[in-house]
Amino acid sequence: MRFLTSLLSAERHSLDHFNQILSHCIVVGLLSKPFVANKLLQLSICHSEQLSLSRRLLLQIPTPTIFGWNLLFRAHSRSQLPVYSVTLYNAMRRSYDLLPDNYTFPFLLKACSRLGLGCKGQEFHCLSIQLGLEVDVFVQNALIFMYSSCCMIEAANRVFEMVPSLLRDVVSWNSVISGLMQCSRCGDAMRVFGQMLAVGLMRPNGVTLACVLTACGRLGLLDTGKIIHGCIAVGEYSADVYLGSSLIDMYGKCGELDDARKVFDRMPERNVVTWTSIIAGYAQSHLHKNAIQLFREMQNAGFKADPATISSVATACGNLGALDQGRWVHSFCERKDIEMNPVVKNAFIDMYSKCGEIEKALNIFEEMEFIDVFSWTAMISGLAMNGNSEAALTLFSQMQLRKDVSPNEVTFLGVLTACSHGGFVDDGYAYLTEMTQRYNLRPRIEHYGCVVDLLGRANLLHDAFKFITKLPIQPDAVMWRSLLFACRSHGNIELAEYAAAQIEKLDPRRCGSPVLLSNVYACAFRWGDVKRVRENMAQLGIVKQPGCSSIEINGVLHEFLVKDHSHGETNAIYQEVTRIDQILIFERRSKDAIAYLQAAPHDELLCS
């Protein structure tokens, strides 16, 4: 027994060695010993994929202690499957005469917060009161976080107010702030942070500052973020790598990539979160080539990418249309055994869809074990953008039959896009109505813009105009621009002029609408109006952005702008373009000559 105790106390075991110890304990009947059983449970958590071995082992123990159950509650609350924390708790209460203790509730409440199970959290709250834990600060902090994460803000505030002022610690405040952040209540999180500072009894720690910086990034509060940056730079957290990552994220979301890069370059230490933050910042700012280049630098620096890194890089590849590089990133995940969680798979679905590999995207989608609303949305949008409108709407119908998932606002954007590309006018109206009446979702201006695009593509320009004028919200320049584009396609000059005038009021510095309007005039051979529009652009200093195209060759992406001479092979490229032009001119002249010979009378050919 002493030898076995020393083996169990060892910090690391290989899986084979652990299986030998486990088999021996089962054979000699040592699972009934609480110390042995709990040590085996601790070791199994390290070796159990999806914790399935740990669950089976727990159920084999004749009389598991609450300590053993807590081990599994904690492990599952941190895992990809936090729901097992709740199901195991139900099994414990149903089959064993055990009550939870003050360590149990924080793990269970964390699982509820991740799952959004506010009702189950309320049940745990009632039980904690029955057990006399209403003054336990750890349980109360977990309750505050759970209610905030589930958007039950009033309940979170009530729990917070019930905690005596002397017992409130920085974790209490952080629980409110981080819970609000998880619920996307960034403004409320900043308000609570202000209250925390006003009280003056509690100094914010690194977790507080990280949450507040994230809120600043999402809200675009650059000045506030800079003030917090100044406090960090002169305080005890100046070398904190996680706060450095939060600063990079904040500057990136505010569009200040130069400042984000300065923070990154000055950091004495970096980790995978730091690299991911700067890569994501470039990807979110549409600097996708920089994001991919940084990913390669990260590999050269010896850092192993995590799922968040891969998600950002896959997104960058998709937005660039860099299929070869996207395929390389996908195979990189398999070679390096990087966890392909739903977020990563969704990113690859989006990447393959944008690169035109819709079959590959479908394969990833169909092989997913757990399909959440984001996966459904990515696949529906991917089918829509590739012109497979009927398939997208069929997939949406399948989603509606599921009871474990409901479409969100972004899902309906994909559905309305499918209707627009497929010309399904009646379906588009029906889905917009269904969005509000069946799912109680409020359409945003993007949804209304999809309907305008749908009507415009169907040449129902006057219906589109009436739809815009009767909207419950103020139409934006994008919506009028969509109508203007449809007017160009269908040659409606009068409506095009009106749409261009509205765009001029809302977004006078953009060159898109004058260019589209001049194209409408050109199609109608109104060259005087074309000249007038172009001269007006010149007077206002509006310059048309040069067109850009790209091509990927052997995994290298080449970008070209109009009249661009920056490429290393510029001379060879222009020589080849000239040669192709000459060939096309010769072929066109040859075809014209043949057509002339075929059409001309015989005697006219003799005379010539």
Q: Express each pLDDT in 108-118 by its tens digit.
A: 999 999 888 99
pLDDT tens-place string over residues 445-480:
999 999 999 999 998 989 999 999 888 888 888 888
CA angle 33, 34, 36 (to 5 degrees): 70
pTM of the predicted protein model: 0.70
Q: What is the pLDDT, as a whole number, of residue 425?
A: 93
Q: pLDDT over 90 for what percent of the chain? A: 39
Residues 6+ apart with CB under 8 A from 420: 428, 450, 453, 454, 457
Residue 50 DSSP symbol = G
Q: What is the pLDDT, as a whole number, of residue 184?
A: 82
pLDDT band at 221 (very low <50, low <70, confident <90, very high): very high
Instruction: Give the Cα separation of 181 and 115 in Å (integer).
Output: 15
Would you mind telling me the total number of residues written for the chain in this entry? 608
Give yes or no for a contact between 305 and 338, defined as CB atoms under 8 angstroms apart.
yes
Q: What is the pLDDT, as a whole number, of residue 73?
A: 92
* Range 447-564 has CATH code 1.10.10: no
Residues 6+ apart with CB under 8 A from 285: 252, 255, 257
Exposed e or buried b per residue across 532-567, where buried means at least 16 C-beta atoms within 10 angstroms of its C-beta = ebbeebeeeebeeeeeeeeebeeeebeebeeeeeee
pLDDT over 90 at 89, yes or no: yes
pLDDT over 50 at 41, yes or no: yes
Residues 6+ apart with CB under 8 A from 352: 318, 323, 326, 358, 360, 361, 364, 382
556 forms bridges with which residues in the sheet? 553
pLDDT over 80 at 593, yes or no: no
For the segment 314-338, the average pLDDT, to the nearest whole number, is 91
pLDDT band at 577 (very low <50, low <70, confident <90, very high): confident
Residues 6+ apart with CB under 8 A from 22: 40, 44, 57
Six token digits for residue 577: 């373009």
pLDDT band at 592 (very low <50, low <70, confident <90, very high): low
Give yes or no for a contact between 289 and 557, defined as CB atoms under 8 angstroms apart.
yes
- What average pLDDT does the chain have? 83
Instruction: Give the Cα separation of 271 and 305 in Å (integer).
Output: 10
| 121 vs 517 pLDDT, higher one | 121
Q: What are phi and psi of 557, to 5 degrees?
A: -95, 125
Q: What is the pLDDT, as a whole number, of residue 179?
A: 83
Instruction: Give the Cα separation of 371 and 406 in Å (integer).
Output: 11
How far from chain centre, in Å, is Cα 136?
A: 37
Instruction: Give the Cα separation of 257 and 271 in Å (integer).
Output: 19
pLDDT over 50 at 604, yes or no: no
Instruction: Give the Cα separation of 381 and 418 in Å (integer).
Output: 8
Nearest residue to 452 via CA among 430, 484, 427, 474: 484
| 591 vs 354 pLDDT, higher one | 354
Burial class (CB in 10 A: 0-12, 13-18, 19+), 593: exposed
Instruction: Identify the weakest region by mean pLDDT among 105-119, 157-171, 389-403.
Output: 157-171
